[in-house]
Amino acid sequence: MSKVVHEFTTAIPEWKPYVKPLDLAEAAPAQLEALKITPSNTKVSDYVLVLAHDVETLTHRSPLFNGVMYNKGGLSRAEREIGAVGASIVNRCIYCAAVHAGRYNQLTKDETVIAAIFADGVEAEISPRLKAILDFSVKLSKCPSDADASDMQALVDAGLGKDEILDLILSSSLFGWANRLMHTLGEPLLGSD
Amino acid sequence: MALTQQTHDAALTPADPGGLTHPERAALACRIAKINDARDFEEHFEALLDNSGASGDAARIADIWFDGGSDSRLKALIWHVDLVAHAPKDATRRDIELLREAGLADADIVRLSELVAFVSYQIRVAAGLRLMRGME
């Protein structure tokens, strides 16, 4: 019996979609192309198979996602993950928060920052630089966005350069997108052991 | 940024719109802009709506006070878009069931979700960039 997870965790849950993932046997050529399905690569997550229902969007979404999260230069990969985590907290996407908090921990070999954020949110006692990054991400993720000139100034004061700020804007916004898919189209489950 | 534009076109004016017409997409995007207090996007989507050959029904979707009236499909579309734009954290399995009960196919539920999710993303990128320009 698996259980829906409602609290933030770094244990990555299983994502169970509410809608039926695309059946590869019924997929159109454009869908197979977007999924990069080849005879030697037929393993695709349910999440991507759900998104394949809107193949035109998916085709552009994947490269955009990789560019925002993994391109060279600018904000460090770990700090981009904090942008993702900030958005996921606001939107309460347990799954995205778990995956990206886990990546932060993996990249930095430090679990204290995420533990503090999951416990205290924007009140977490973390370094001023990380706090400015988290605050900005959380405020930009509200609807309407709550980020203002003082939050931007806080990023500059914390030592972020323009290219780093741009990456933070992109990673936080990108997770506003991802959360609105992941959290609304399915639920995070933890199997009992 | 080119990818953002390409995704904009894929979400707003796809070659295969499925069960969500171009005018409906533009009108729903207009609602999302209003919910985000994003005037520039509101104008952008309004222009897109005007150019989409919208019927009066589709155009009404952009009116934030219109809840779909007696049209159960429109009502479900509007309810879901407003919820996911404003408070995605409150969305549950039930909200997807409501869309199904209103006659939406799974593929159209995904298309609708991508539309709200993408427009919400684009509005935030623009808001962030505007704050950056304000620093100069």
pLDDT tens sequence across B64-86: 999 999 999 999 999 999 999 99
Asked if pLDDT for residue A162 goes beyond 90, the answer is yes
Q: Side-chain half-sphere of A18: how many Cα atoms within 13 Å? A: 22
Residue of A46, A49, A54, A146 best to disrupt the B interface, most CBs of B under 10 A: A54
ipTM rounded to 2 decimals: 0.96
Alpha helices in chain A (DSSP H): 29-35, 46-51, 55-70, 77-90, 94-108, 112-120, 128-141, 149-157, 162-185
Give A178→chain B minimum CA distance, Å: 7
A185/B109 CB distance under 8 A: yes
Q: What stretch of H or E contains A3?
A: strand A2-4
Question: Which among B42, B14, B17 has a CA at the least distance from the CA of B119?
Answer: B42
**What does the alpha-carbon distance between residue A147 and residue B42 come to, in Å, rounded to a whole number?**
19
Structure confidence at residue A193 (pLDDT): 46
Q: Cα angle vertex A154, ends A133, A64, to 5°?
A: 40
Residues B132, A136 contacting (CB under 8 angstroms): no
**What does the alpha-carbon distance between residue B15 and residue A161 come to, in Å, rounded to a whole number?**
40
Q: What SS3 class is residue B69?
A: coil
β-bridge mates for residue A14, sequence order? A189
Question: Which among A8, A10, A41 has a CA at the least distance from the CA of A24?
Answer: A41
Exposed e or buried b per residue across B14-25, where buried means at least 16 C-beta atoms within 10 angstroms of its C-beta:
beebbebebbbb
* Residue in chain B lying closest to A162 (CA): B132
Give A93→chain B minimum CA distance, Å: 7
Structure confidence at residue B1 (pLDDT): 67
**What does the alpha-carbon distance between residue B89 and residue B79 come to, in Å, rounded to a whole number?**
15
β-bridge mates for residue A71, sequence order? none
Asked if pLDDT for residue B120 goes beyond 60, the answer is yes
To the nearest whole percent, how much of chain B has pLDDT over 90? 88
Average pLDDT score over chain B: 95
- Starting at the edge strand that comes first in sequence, how are the strands of the sheet with A2-4 ordered? A2-4, A186-191, A14-17
Average confidence (pLDDT) over A24-32: 91
Length of chain A, in residues:
193
**What does the alpha-carbon distance between residue B89 and residue A173 come to, in Å, rounded to a whole number?**
16
Domain boundaries, chain B: 2-134
* Residue entry with tokens 């409602």: A6
* Residue entry with tokens 């399915």: A186
Instruction: Please tell me the CATH code under which domain B2-134 is placed.
Output: 1.20.1290.10
Question: Which among A174, A183, A161, A141 has a CA at the least distance from the CA of A69?
Answer: A174
To the nearest whole percent, how much of chain A has pLDDT over 90? 86
Average pLDDT score over chain A: 94
User: Residue A82 corresponds to which tokens in the numbers above?
Assistant: 């904090």
Q: What SS3 class is residue B22?
A: helix
- Set out the domains of chain A in order of their start, with CATH numbers: 1-193 (1.20.1290.10)
* Residue entry with tokens 């204290």: A112
Tell me if chain B has a CB within 8 Å of the CB of A151: yes
Option in A60, A156, A176 nearest B120 (CB): A176
